[in-house]
Amino acid sequence: MVPTLFALTLFAAAALSFLVQPMVGKHLLPALGGTPGVWNSCLVFFQAALLVGYGLVYGLSRIGFRARLAIHALMLAGAGGAILFGGRLVPNESWLPTDSETPTIAVLAVLAACVGAPYLVLAMTAPLVQAWYARLGRDPYPLYAASNLGSFAGLLSYPFLVEPALPLAAQREWWIAAFAVAAALVLACGALAMRGHTVAVAAVTSEPGPTCGRILKWIALAALPSSLLMSVTTHLTTDIAPVPLLWVVPLGLYLLSFSIVFARWTPAMRRIVGRLTPMALCFLAVALLTRANTPMILVGGVHLGAFFLVALLCHGELAADRPAPAHLTGFYFWLSTGGVLGGLANAFLAPWLFAHAGNVEYPLAIVLAGLVRPPSAAVGVRWKTADGIWPFALGALTALLVVGVPALLPVQPGTDPDDPLDRLVRGGLSFGLPAAFAFALVWRPVRFALCLAVLLAVGSLAPNPHGTILETHRDYFGTLRVARSADGSFHRIVHGTTLHGQQKWPFESPPEPATYYHRKGPFGRLMAMLPPDRRTRVAVVGLGCGATAAYAEAGQRWTFYEIDPAVARVARDERYFTFLKSCPAETEIVLGDARRQLRRAPDGEFDLIVLDAFSSDAVPVHLLTREAFDLVFAKLRPGGVVALHVSNRYLDLPPLVARTIVATNPNRTIVVDDDLPTDEGTRSGQTASTWIGVFPKDGNWKLDLRWQQLPSTVGPIWTDDFSNLLVAWRRDD
């Protein structure tokens, strides 16, 4: 019964800590603008709070047990009082930042006031309860597996069970009740530990504390998987497949690796993982260099499989080097320090260092992972003179193949230069042999890591599938690239695998819209149907390269709402795009979240509102809720029209949009056009697109037959209090 109680306590506390993170972050989204920065700020806060919690346990381990138990009981009571009487996990409106304040600092302050106390005591539970368990003369480290399983369960239960079933208000009530149960379990564990004996612990207290070198090793082994976690997540959700909720998979594997190594990590498992990981790193390097993104399951499996093996390897080495229970709290504190440092390096340091180079931290983490090896799987790790010769030879071979393969296998006329299969074949021929060369040196980690570094560096000079990269911007909102297509016909603006617009090159005058805004596509036909006097004031959410401005006419005023300053800079740069320069209408770009900025516009201001923010990986859910549509319709003039670009590979948005609009605006006609371009349209830059038009029912609208009535289906609608991406998931995917 005692092991079960302690394991259940750790499981419950960890599950609650991973439930509260998305719950509170989601509550802040509509109020703070729904930017990716809100989620990033939340992540920073919870990582820092975890480190503070582990640090408190480490510091309190130096005082008597009864004093520690009393302090923790008071902290539990204080946290319970904070959430019962101090806001119940809900931020007060007066706490929310104004537009003149720094959002990150404000979000951190709001989170600290709302959930700081309960999350802190939950963060303290894992090392604290394990130390109590050691007091009973038992091995505490297997309990860490129960804690990480609880984190894993909490992580998966929120998007798949809690979010679809409960609105935010009910989620908070259930979480508060569960917190009370977890607190009672913690106190029960403390009561048992108080009655236990300390003979087993006293027997090892004479063991000297860990050396500085050992502590640095712990920090490094914890930091590497944490950094790799963020790199893999970013790569998968931007360069492989912009699938909502895909971030859950690598985080789940990260937590699972902790559970495996601390529950049962035999020498045989350690040896097998140590030998498989270098092979996986070679496959991963080839996948990165070929820029392969299809087939999604295979390519995604390579990235996730390699990450999981690296996490098992690093965390396994930590488990193998864990100290005696007397030093348990310090061990977990240094592990948490490494995890925070790895996350901060990716979230803050890398965007600053590699502002014009993209996701460099991912290949860098791969190279560092090549140095990690169990003692039995490496011949030596010290530098030798010969170690510098092998990378030089590999670099020469890679350069020769990068140049030679395209020369021997030129792209045939009429072949799509961006074809994934063709790219995979050519990339495999270019990088497969150098990767095998690197793997032949696997028994010498320094040589192997250097060869991986050279392979990744030289291979990155190969032609990009998007064409010639003209400029790269990396900021708070991700990595944005401007490219000239491989055939030299278009300038493109690309985020990950998502094309956000393109313009014919050399420039035409006036410029013709392409991609989703082509004149022969749904948006072009919609604009042709609307007379100029019915679109004198236009609002566009999502700027892209500014292609919609091609439809503007003299005497009109167009307002573009764009969240990413880098996009605005690129759209204004006349070297790449000229839509805004050539626009005869008065134009204005408003930076910031569209929903927050639209609130400032007078009611009844616009004839046409274009919502074009749903085709990328970060679907702004807060722009598709009932409250968001109420705001949009309030800004329309009588007889105004709304156009929504809802092309998305993984979400079926039209039924959801129809249900949500009809729920509060039944006097509207909703039509949809799911368009596929002709061969002629494709040659002129048109791409497939799905658009929704929303018109007043009493208007005399002459739409062509390609626009079909969109019926309102039965199902849930999204609100600021309830939304779930699984509701809109495409059933045919």
User: Hunting for tokens 């050992």 — which residue is that?
Assistant: 214
| Cα gap 668→123, rounded to integer Å | 50
| Cα gap 331→325, rounded to integer Å | 9
In this structure, of 192-196, 460-464, 536-540, 626-630, the range with the lowest mean pLDDT score is 460-464
3 state SS of 318: helix
3-state per-residue secondary structure call for 136-188? CCCCCCHHHHHHHHHHHHHHHHHHHHHHHHCCHHHHHHHHHHHHHHHHHHHHH
Q: The dihedral of CA 517, 518, 523, 529: what is its sign? A: positive
* Global pTM value: 0.83
- C-alpha distances out from residue 626 to 235, 661, 722, 726, Å: 32, 7, 10, 18
> How far out from the chain centre does Cα 15 lie?
21
**pLDDT for 415 beyond 50:** no
pLDDT tens readout for residues 173-184: 899 999 999 999
pLDDT tens readout for residues 328-339: 889 999 999 999
pLDDT tens readout for residues 425-443: 666 777 888 888 888 888 8
Kindly state the tokens that stand for 561: 């709402």
Q: The dihedral of CA 241, 244, 246, 247: what is its sign? A: positive
Q: Which residue has the higher pLDDT, 18 or 309?
A: 309
| Cα gap 650→179, rounded to integer Å | 35
Bridge partners of 708?
A: 672
Q: Which residues contact 552 (CB under 8 A, 6 or more apart)?
A: 538, 558, 583, 584, 585, 587
pLDDT tens readout for residues 710-728: 887 888 888 888 887 777 7
Kindly state the tokens that stand for 92: 């007060």
User: Hunting for tokens 């101090």 — which residue is that?
Assistant: 86
| Cα gap 646→69, rounded to integer Å | 55
- Contact of 337 with 330, CB cutoff 8 Å: no
Is residue 232 left, alpha or beta, with left meaning phi > 0 and alpha meaning psi from -120 to 50? alpha
Is residue 245 left, alpha or beta, with left meaning phi > 0 and alpha meaning psi from -120 to 50? left
Rg (the chain; Cα; Å)? 28
| Cα gap 507→685, rounded to integer Å | 13
- C-alpha distances out from residue 207 to 325, 326, 461, Å: 10, 8, 53
pLDDT at 75: 92
User: What is the set of domains in the chain, with CATH numbers?
Assistant: 1-203 (1.20.1250), 385-459 (no CATH), 511-728 (3.40.50.150)
Per-residue pLDDT band for 200 (boundaries 50, 70, 90) equals very low
pLDDT tens readout for residues 259-308: 999 888 888 999 999 999 999 999 999 888 887 766 778 888 999 999 99
